[in-house]
Structure 1
Amino acid sequence: MSNKGEQAEKSAGFQWLGFTARIPFVHTRVCWPELFQGILISAATALALVPLLTGYFGLSFEEAIAMSFIHSFLISASWMIFGEPYASGWLTPALPFVLTLLLSDSFSSATERLQMMTAISLDFAILLAILGVTGLGAKLIKVMPEVLKGAVILGAAVAAFLKVFDLQASDNIFNTHPYSATVAIALSLLLAFSAPMHRMAAKYPMVARLVALGLLPGFILGAIVGAVTGELKFDIQMGFFALPMVDMFNKVSPFVIGWPSLDMFLQGIPLALIGYILFFGDLVTGKEVLAMVEKSREDEKLDFNDSRTHISVAIRNVISALFAPFFPTQGILWTGIHVVIAQRWQQGRKAMNSLYDGISSYYMMGLPFIFFIAPVVTGIKPMMPIALAVTLALTGFACAYVAMSKANNNAERGCMMLSAVCLAVMDPWLGLILAVLLSVFLVDFKAEADET
């Protein structure tokens, strides 16, 4: 290995209790293309929850920004403090399930919703810790029928699409922002999933650069259309925010508002189980993406450790539950960004010295300072509901095609669809039990075993 490579290896970070911490600007360098994209895309996505936090969880706009700041910092802790080689993000497919439960008539107050969020996050953290330390997680996923995994993933798709396209809801994005939402969602879907677009990207560098920008073009064009049509009113303010961390803590922390009841912890178990299935799928996806490009970068050895990943995500969920409860903001993978960074890392040291340089740059070196900058936050503010709709729409599309690939015959397709609807619209326990029963009684697992 070259001296440069040896130096990079020596400055990779420092060990603590089995984890590897990397200090920005000391152990990671700035990659400007990733930094510029991350400032807008990471901020817009991270702030997508602000309308929910202000509308259903009793927070002011500034308090919601403070809560999003904590979520973003904990997400960056994945690579910065715990040494995970993944572009981390929300456990996004679980979000529609959580919103379906929390915004139902079962929870009438912001306090109850926040206590339920705490319960689910702690359930999920305990499950991760147990399955990670014992190694039972991989065994659990291995014995679970593919049709049941597909049903959970397809259920996330159905729940996401219901949230985005329920035109009967007065606050639906297409009722309030028909033109800007249509443009933003359509362009984001086109750049993320269009086979013809990706075929053109392989031929034309300009198209490839456009596709590499991910969600950014959709947000920008949606903002322009919204401004022209009058759907979006921009009131950009100068100066800086003094984020009210203490006020936010007093409104959301179980230390102040009270701990969840035992019933809440029990009610959160099926969502934690669903979250674990999705987490494990993200973990496998993240490793596979890097495995495909790692052979081109023999100069940098990546450290994969599934038990460490389980524990690190569990710790992040505990901290979130205690100080800024909102499951599922603490997952392991932001798939689209992970792919973009991995592809640039594959091009060699001249493009990206270390994978962690690209990850840290996309996450603004782990320091989400833009949350304090009033012009950026107030400029993004009108787009926040659209950002949430785009996130849910892309999640639904991705989950749908992943789930469909797990079905081998008509019986499995029908079982997955019916199970998905049960999971999406029913109480979590009832939906999960029905999904298991449908898988047992409608799918011929013996025939599948004989075929294999």
Structure 2
Amino acid sequence: MPYSLHKRKDGEEQPFWKCGPFKLRLPFIHYKLETVEAVQALVLFVVGLAMIPWLEKHLGLPFEAALAYTFVCSLAWLIPTFLGVPFVPGWITAAIPLIIMNLSQYGPGPDAIKALVAIQIMVAAIFLALGVTKLSSKIVTRIPVSIKAGILIGAGMAALMGEIAVGGRLAQDPISIGIAALICFYMLFSLSFKRLRQKYSIAAGIAKFGMVPAMLVAIAIGVGVGEFPVPNIEFGITRPDFALMWQYLPWTIGFPGIEFYINGFATAVAAYIIAFGDVIVGTSLVENANKESRRDEIVDTCADRIHLATGIRNMIHAFFAPYIGLAGPIYTAVTATVSDRYRNGRKAMDSIYGGMGTFWLVGLFAMFMLPLVTFFKPFLPISLALTMLVTGYLCLVDGFKTAKQPVQAGVACTMGVVLATHGAAYGLGVGILFHILLERKFLAQSHPEVAILAADKKIADFQEMEPLKKAS
């Protein structure tokens, strides 16, 4: 791939233009494009198209308008790297089941679009407010562990239940999606495949393409067994219908009233908490790769800049393409594979911004390639199913890792079940109630004799330690 105009000296930060809280970087000027990420993007851009069935089903959009929505999303995906965020951005994927549960109250049509606009405006406002005030980490760290874990577990359950339930995508296409899921899980999470990657270069070469191998295998099997039709490939340039899209925006159908904000508030809060977990995951992935393997580059993972960039994207969506996936800080699977390849040194990847910035830039161009779009169009359910299954698994793992004590796990699991079956408002309500009843320590305040016993124990402990302190 072509080299960039500006070069980085070893041990310095990748060149940028300073603009307030942002560090502006442009391809070919501040970083070069990376071949491996470009190849991944030519297949995984279909994940962006995978939102189309949801937009059609839950918002009532025609295909042409939904396709135009995805172009707005693809443009917005370029913003974070442009502003200096070293992640591949994505959706708030784990929040999608919660969003769908909220929208299902209205049915497809203008009210569902208004409900989504309200949620997306609130999510944008949270990100922007916390990014400007720099309060994000302080506020989120005060949320009880059990509630954070409960949101993750509930989102994970909802994601998996939506795929494996009767009538779900796995039930409709069990052979292709089932095999693809097994391949994807084995390559991403298996300890034995991790050893194969370390031992054999071919396994390492396959692994760096993330979910692409599983997608391609699923497509071949799906066509072979008749679960999916042979694609009708057309040639030319994709032409999204932006004029039709305008008929499904708040500027035309009207902006949401206060009742939509009230009804969607709990969902917006839950979505932000999930997204903040994504910020932590992305920061950990990039910083570990940078500090452990790449002393030649300083990487700035400023949480406030991540919040501002994510807030801007959500606001753009709210006004010009309300999106069921919302705008999240990270596409975890791709960010992980880019970070892993980044560890291999400057010859493998000159800068982390090159790897992260290449993916959606090439993905945007792939959206205009009609042969690619028409080839992958029949297989959108595969990419959607893989995305949700992997997301559900990761949410469950992170949720149980977050809950460190049995009582926290109990509260989190109970909250998670309610959230997955009845929505974010009921889930958060049950989580807060159980946290207060089961985790808060009221006993010493309500029973003076207990407080006296506790005080006596502290005095006894002090008396036991005092001779030791004097002796030392």
- Partner SS for 2:78: helix
Match of 1:114 in 2: 113
Checking the alignment, whether the CA contact within 8 Å between 1:96 and 1:392 is kept in structure 2 is: no
The whole-number CA distance in structure 2 between the counterparts of 1:164 and 1:14 is 44
Match of 1:223 in 2: 219
Amino acid at match of 1:192: L
Amino acid at match of 1:46: G
CA drift of 1:444 comes to: 5.8
Shift in alpha-carbon separation, 1:288–1:11, aligned structure 2, 3 A: closer
Match of 1:32 in 2: 35
Residue of 37, 60, 65 corresponding to 2:62? 60
Shift in alpha-carbon separation, 1:446–1:45, aligned structure 2, 3 A: farther
The whole-number CA distance in structure 1 between the counterparts of 2:306 and 2:233 is 40
Amino acid at match of 2:95: A
Match of 2:340 in 1: 343
- Partner SS for 2:298: coil
Match of 1:51 in 2: 53
Checking the alignment, whether the CA contact within 8 Å between 2:152 and 2:396 is kept in structure 1 is: yes
CA drift of 1:124 comes to: 0.7
Match of 1:393 in 2: 389
Match of 1:332 in 2: 329
- Partner SS for 2:18: strand
Q: TM-score, normalised by structure 1?
A: 0.91
Amino acid at match of 2:403: A
Shift in alpha-carbon separation, 1:327–1:52, aligned structure 2, 3 A: closer
Shift in alpha-carbon separation, 1:249–1:9, aligned structure 2, 3 A: farther
Checking the alignment, whether the CA contact within 8 Å between 2:7 and 2:15 is kept in structure 1 is: no
Match of 2:201 in 1: 205
Match of 2:162 in 1: 163
The whole-number CA distance in structure 2 between the counterparts of 1:136 and 1:110 is 37
CA drift of 1:260 comes to: 0.8
Checking the alignment, whether the CA contact within 8 Å between 2:164 and 2:171 is kept in structure 1 is: no
Residue of 143, 162, 179 corresponding to 1:183? 179
Shift in alpha-carbon separation, 1:224–1:6, aligned structure 2, 3 A: same
CA drift of 1:338 comes to: 1.3
Checking the alignment, whether the CA contact within 8 Å between 1:150 and 1:402 is kept in structure 2 is: yes
Match of 1:97 in 2: 98
Match of 2:241 in 1: 244
Alignment partner of 1:277 is 2:278? no
What is the identity percentage for the equivalent residue pairs of Structure 1 and Structure 2? 29
The whole-number CA distance in structure 2 between the counterparts of 1:334 and 1:35 is 15
CA drift of 1:329 comes to: 3.2
CA drift of 1:10 comes to: 9.3
Q: What's the C-alpha RMSD, in Å, of the aligned pairs?
A: 2.2
Match of 1:314 in 2: 311
CA drift of 1:14 comes to: 2.1
Match of 1:16 in 2: 19
Unaligned runs of 5+ in 1: none
Shift in alpha-carbon separation, 1:185–1:441, aligned structure 2, 3 A: same
CA drift of 1:91 comes to: 1.2
The whole-number CA distance in structure 2 between the counterparts of 1:290 and 1:445 is 38
- Partner SS for 2:23: strand
Shift in alpha-carbon separation, 1:324–1:408, aligned structure 2, 3 A: same
Shift in alpha-carbon separation, 1:175–1:11, aligned structure 2, 3 A: closer
- Residues 412-447 of structure 1: per-residue CA shift (max 9 Å, x gap): 322221100111121432221111111221236699
Checking the alignment, whether the CA contact within 8 Å between 1:133 and 1:307 is kept in structure 2 is: yes
Shift in alpha-carbon separation, 1:36–1:407, aligned structure 2, 3 A: same
Shift in alpha-carbon separation, 1:428–1:352, aligned structure 2, 3 A: same
The whole-number CA distance in structure 1 between the counterparts of 2:255 and 2:79 is 26
Amino acid at match of 2:147: L
- Residues 349-390 of structure 1: per-residue CA shift (max 9 Å, x gap): 21111111111222235x602212211011111110121111
CA drift of 1:159 comes to: 0.8
Match of 2:288 in 1: 292
- Partner SS for 1:15: strand
- Partner SS for 1:89: coil
CA drift of 1:213 comes to: 1.8
Match of 1:363 in 2: 360
Checking the alignment, whether the CA contact within 8 Å between 1:423 and 1:435 is kept in structure 2 is: no
Checking the alignment, whether the CA contact within 8 Å between 1:423 and 1:432 is kept in structure 2 is: yes
The whole-number CA distance in structure 1 between the counterparts of 2:146 and 2:423 is 20
Larger Rg: 2
CA drift of 1:327 comes to: 4.1
Q: Which runs of 4+ in 1 moved over 4 A?
A: 7-11, 444-447
CA drift of 1:4 comes to: 5.0
Shift in alpha-carbon separation, 1:18–1:158, aligned structure 2, 3 A: same
The whole-number CA distance in structure 2 between the counterparts of 1:10 and 1:309 is 17
The whole-number CA distance in structure 2 between the counterparts of 1:399 and 1:430 is 19
CA drift of 1:328 comes to: 3.3
Alignment partner of 1:405 is 2:405? no
CA drift of 1:290 comes to: 1.9
Shift in alpha-carbon separation, 1:56–1:112, aligned structure 2, 3 A: same
Unaligned runs of 5+ in 2: 1-5, 444-453, 455-472
Residue of 62, 74, 77 corresponding to 1:75? 77
Amino acid at match of 1:275: A
Alignment partner of 1:418 is 2:414? yes
Match of 1:147 in 2: 146
- Residues 120-157 of structure 1: per-residue CA shift (max 9 Å, x gap): 01001111222222233212222222111111100111
Q: TM-score, normalised by structure 2?
A: 0.87
The whole-number CA distance in structure 2 between the counterparts of 1:108 and 1:334 is 29
